[in-house]
Amino acid sequence: MKTKSITLVLSILLALFSCKQNNKNDNKELVANPEGKQKDTFLTFQKEQTIEDNCNCPENDYAGTKADTVFKFTNGKKIALCGYRNPGSNPIDFSEFVLSVCGENKIIDSWDGTQTCRLKINKDTLIIENVVNLPVEQDRKFKIIVWEIEKLFFKNKNVIKSLSINKNIRTYNQNEIAETLKEYENSKGQLNDKKMELVNRLFISTISGNKTAGKYFKEFKTKFGEIDGAFSEEYNQLNSMLEQWNKKE
C-alpha cells in the first residue's frame, strides 16, 4: 500500500512538470530567418501583447498583417514583411507584399502582384531586388535578372530609402539588334506569346541604343491589333521600365 502511494505521488509530480514545460513552448512564435541560417529563431511574447512587441504589419490595402519574415537591424529595430511567397521559388522571392517597421502603425511601402522581389540584409541595409525575366542571354534567350534595386536603412531611427536601376545588364550587339529588327519586320498575324517574346527583344534592342528598335517598340502596341489582358500588362510594364532606363539619375 505504501509503495502504491509513493508511485501515485511521483506520477502526479511528473505530470505537473510536463504541463509546465508545455506551457513554456506555447508562448513562443517562430519567425522566419531572413539570413538563411538553419537555426530557428524564436521570439517569446508575453500574454499581454502590445503593438511594440508584436512584430506584424498594420492594416493596409495591399497584403495581410501577419509577418512572413522579420529583418533585424543592429539598432534594435525590426522590419516585418507581410505578403505572399512565390511557390517553389529558389532563392525565395515575394510578390504583393508590404514592409513595416515593427511597432509602427503605417507601412513603409508596398509592392504589387506584377513585381517579383528578393530581399536580404547586407551591412545593416535591407536590399530589395526586383527581378524580371528578359531575353539577355546568348542567342537572345530569356534569363531572370535583377532590374531594380531598392535599399532601406535607418538613420536617426528614421527609414531612408533609395532606388536605382541595374545598368549592368547585358545589352545586344549589332548582330543581335539586326536579327531582332528583321524578326519584327517579317512578323504578321495576330498577337501571341511568340510576338510578346519579340517585344521583349525590341525592348533590349532599344536600351542597347538602337533608335529603330525604339520606334518599332512603340509601334508594336497597334501593329498586331489591340493589346489587352496579360499582354497589355506586360507591354505596359516594359514601357515603364524603358522610362526608368531613360530617366537621368
Angle at Cα 203 formed by Cα 210 and Cα 163, nearest 5°? 105
> The pTM is what?
0.74
Q: In the chain, where are the structural domains located?
A: 48-165, 174-246
Task: Compute the distance between CA of residue 188 and CA of residue 195 in angstroms, rounded to an integer.
Answer: 9
Contact between residue 17 and residue 24 where contact means Cβ atoms under 8 Å apart: no
Task: Give tens-digit pLDDT for 145-194.
Answer: 999 999 999 998 899 999 999 999 999 999 999 999 999 999 999 999 99
Looking at the predicted structure, is the pLDDT value of residue 45 above 50? no
Q: Which three cell numbers stand for residue 232?
A: 497589355
- Other C-beta atoms closer than 10 Å to the C-beta of 131 total 18
Looking at the predicted structure, is the pLDDT value of residue 16 above 70? no
Q: Which three cell numbers stand for residue 9?
A: 505521488
Task: Give tens-digit pLDDT for 46-101.
Answer: 222 233 346 999 999 999 999 999 999 999 999 999 999 999 888 899 999 999 99
Task: Compute the distance between CA of residue 66 and CA of residue 199 in angstroms, rounded to an integer.
Answer: 39
Contact between residue 146 and residue 120 where contact means Cβ atoms under 8 Å apart: no
Give the pLDDT confidence score for residue 54 in this predicted structure: 66
Give the pLDDT confidence score for residue 249 in this predicted structure: 55
C-alpha 249: how far from its chain's center? 23
